[in-house]
Amino acid sequence: MRIAIDAMGGDLAPGPVVEGALAAARQLGVGLVFAGPRDILTREIARHAPVDRVDVVEAPDVVAMHESPVQALRHKPASSIRVAIEQVACGNADAVFTAGHTGAAVVAAHGLLGMMPGYDRPALAALLPTPGGAAVLVDAGATVECRPAHLLQFALMGRAYASAALGVRKPRIGLLSIGEEASKGNELIREAHRLLKADPRLDFIGNVEARDLYAGLADVVVCDGFTGNVALKVSEGLVDALETLVREELTRTFSTRFGLLLQRRAFRRVRRRVDYAEYGAAPLLGVRGLCLVGHGRSSVRAVRSGVELAATCVSTGLLASLAEEAGRVGAAPA
């Protein structure tokens, strides 16, 4: 197995990206092919203990976070994100991991890999921490303009991901909305509700209210990419804001500071349980190849988890499961 890495993708690249990917490869015994400027990467790789089967493919350009994806990819054909995804397109790698520009990853993967039959639009499947484990949020930001049929396809993709890669036996599917009743939500959601409910092969539990997103009521929560991205990013911002607030209040007096000292390890556990780094990356589902998108601020640990998740997606045959689910799409009442 070989995984391509966009070595220059992410705010902190290439340092933590190279280190995290090498750690995962060492652990799992998989091969790597890093895309990026050869001289920089050779130096970075040499800073760590040697790992078998590590290649570098030259990619001198980088797509910056603020660039327009389409423009950037057109003007920078040798960008690390594009070259990394090409490794999958040409069969040189089984999966690709990038912590770079999400929009550019979606556009490049869509363009270079194409869509799988039965799926019209790509979707990012992010993992949400819940009391019972992780739930899948799909789409977390790949397709911001959706029709109801796309949401049905996202449900099937999410189902394939949850069962193949995460080992959930009979994934319960929910639809993110602003109320439990079928009549709640906007036109898109109401019509998608009808489609999901009409498909007898889906274990559809109905609408999941936004306030229950982290309650673990469903294994797969379906939404359009705009709403999913808002839900995810609001959560991220809120966790950071609360952490600042709690730290501020707990360092005010001697006794609260002393209390904090007693709880250091407990707070570290809290942080770990909510931390995106534990969940590493989101696969871009629906495209003809395995592409995992990590957080732009990915740490060593996050990259490592992301590459491990990529390997899991390969070894559990996620693409075959997605293709199998896609068969259902054709037969679904639309």
Q: Quote the least distance from Cβ 246 to its own copies, whole Å.
A: 6
Closest CB to its own copies among 78 and 245?
245
The answer to whether 274 contacts its own copies (rule: CB under 8 A) is yes
The answer to whether 331 contacts its own copies (rule: CB under 8 A) is no
The answer to whether 213 contacts its own copies (rule: CB under 8 A) is yes
* Residue 35 to residue 183: CA distance in whole angstroms: 48
Q: Quote the least distance from Cβ 319 to its own copies, whole Å.
A: 27
Closest CB to its own copies among 52 and 240?
240
Output the CA–CA distances (angstroms, integers) from residue 237 to 125, 275, 295, 306, in the order listed.
Answer: 19, 12, 14, 21
Size of the site for its own copies (CB under 8 A): 61
Least Cα distance to 314 among 333, 287, 291, 280 occurs for 291
* Residue 133 to residue 110: CA distance in whole angstroms: 30
Give the x-and-dash track for 80-99 against its own copies (CB under 8 A).
--------------------
Identify the residue whose tokens are 């693409």.
319
Give the x-and-dash track for 123-152 against its own copies (CB under 8 A).
--------x---------x--xx-------
Contact 140, 161 (CB under 8 A): no
> What angle, rounded to 10 degrees, do the helices at 254-262 and 225-250 form?
120
Contact 41, 18 (CB under 8 A): yes
Out of 242, 320, 331, 334, the residue judged to bind its own copies by CB under 8 A: 242
Closest CB to its own copies among 21 and 176?
176
Q: Quote the least distance from Cβ 144 to its own copies, whole Å.
A: 5
The answer to whether 117 contacts its own copies (rule: CB under 8 A) is no
Out of 78, 198, 245, 334, the residue judged to bind its own copies by CB under 8 A: 245
Q: How many helices (H) and strands (E) are present in the chain, helices listed first?
A: 12, 11
Give the x-and-dash track for 41-80 against its own copies (CB under 8 A).
-------------------------x-x------------
The answer to whether 270 contacts its own copies (rule: CB under 8 A) is yes
Q: How far is CA 205 from the centre of its chain?
A: 24
Out of 75, 273, 320, 334, the residue judged to bind its own copies by CB under 8 A: 273
Q: Quote the least distance from Cβ 230 to its own copies, whole Å.
A: 4
Phi, psi for residue 228 in degrees, rounded to 5: -60, -40
Least Cα distance to 152 among 139, 163, 171 occurs for 139
The answer to whether 235 contacts its own copies (rule: CB under 8 A) is yes
* Residue 126 to residue 131: CA distance in whole angstroms: 16
Out of 115, 205, 250, 323, the residue judged to bind its own copies by CB under 8 A: 250
Output the CA–CA distances (angstroms, integers) from residue 34 to 11, 59, 87, 114, in the order listed.
Answer: 17, 9, 10, 22
Contact 175, 154 (CB under 8 A): no
Q: What residue ranges bind its own copies (CB under 8 A)?
A: 66, 68, 103, 131, 141, 144-145, 176, 178-181, 183, 185-187, 189, 209-215, 224, 226-227, 229-242, 245-246, 249-250, 252-253, 255-256, 258-263, 266-267, 269-270, 273-274
